[in-house]
Chains A and B, each alone.
Chain A
Amino acid sequence: MNDLILFIAVGCLTASQVLQKLGAQRRLSETKSARQWIAALLAPELIGAALTIAIGTLLWLYVLYEMDVSRAFPFLSLGSVAVVAVSRIFLGEHVSLYRWVGVLLITVGLTLVAQS
């Protein structure tokens, strides 16, 4: 059960990054003033991004109560890989081999940091 919640948490946090990117691209890049920029924060993509990051963070905090950090953290760090994967699949970004290797190193590093 906790594994499932953790999985959903990572999914929400990853989805939030995609929504933030879409929102930034579609709504923020054309703004001319700080005022317009702030108004654009209410765009559907960015509201969705805020909701998913809030749900993801709450679920993550819940899991942290139930589960050892050293076990939960590697899942979260897989989120880095997930974000790069969805950037490629849904945003059409080019991801070179070096970038994949870099992200994998980061994931392993994060896993090590969480071990006591």
Chain B
Amino acid sequence: MSAASKRSFGIVLLTSSIVLSAVGQLCMKAGMQGLRESPVALEATWSALRMLQEPLLFAAGGLLAYAISMLAWLAVLVRYPLSYAYPFLSLSYVLVYLGATHWSRLMETATPLRTAGTLLILLGVILVSRTEWPRGSKGVPGPGRT
């Protein structure tokens, strides 16, 4: 792989880890919420299980997305310094916030304070992203701009 395609693969991995962990959180939340709202959650009969199929699928899908995001994270760590990559994970909070306030299944209320916090996180990540990028062969991050 050329240096440029290595770099874009690293970005793909980092993005997958962030997005999948947010999707995982949101699906688990939607799934568990569906289970909780269902009037028959505990004394579930077969028909009730069929009713619960969708929330259970969401919860399980969420867990799967979460697991994959952890594997993608390990692949990210092969390519980037920890102190550079880790702050990017906070972007998943931003995605979770956007999802929780806009996804029709969840529709939580947005507050000015939370929105301000989300913007601060975004600003912080932008600052970190401008400090250094991986260079050099074999996925070993070299000195970049600091």
Contact = CB atoms under 8 A, between A and B. Distances in A.
B127 A112 contact: no
A87 B86 contact: yes
Contacts of A20: 73-74, 77
A91 B52 CA distance: 47
Given A102-B87, A102-B124, A110 B117 contact: yes
Size class of the A contact interface (CB-based, 8 Å)? 35 or more
Interface residues of B, number: 38
Classify the interface of chain B: helix, strand, loop or mixed. helix
Contacts of B90: 80, 106, 109-110
A99 B128 contact: yes
A113 B121 CA distance: 9
Interface in A89-116: 91, 93-96, 98-99, 101-116
A115 B130 CA distance: 29
A15 interface: no
A111 B117 contact: yes
Contacts of A113: 93, 97, 114, 117-118, 121
Contact of B113 (A91, A99, A112): A112
A6 interface: no
B63 interface: no
B146 A96 contact: yes
Contact of B127 (A23, A80, A99, A107): A99
B124 A104 contact: yes
B75 interface: yes
Contacts of B123: 102, 105, 109
Interface stretch (B2-10, B20-28, B39-47, B131-139): B131-139
* Among B73, B75, B124, B140, residue most surrounded by chain A Cβ atoms (within 10 Å): B124
Nearest to B97: A113
9 contacts: A21-B82, A25-B78, A29-B139, A101-B127, A106-B121, A107-B124, A110-B121, A112-B116, A113-B114
Interface of A: 17-18, 20-21, 23-25, 28-29, 41, 46, 80, 83-84, 87-88, 91, 93-96, 98-99, 101-116
Interface of B: 73-75, 77-78, 81-84, 86-87, 90, 93, 97, 111, 113-114, 116-128, 130-132, 138-140, 143, 146
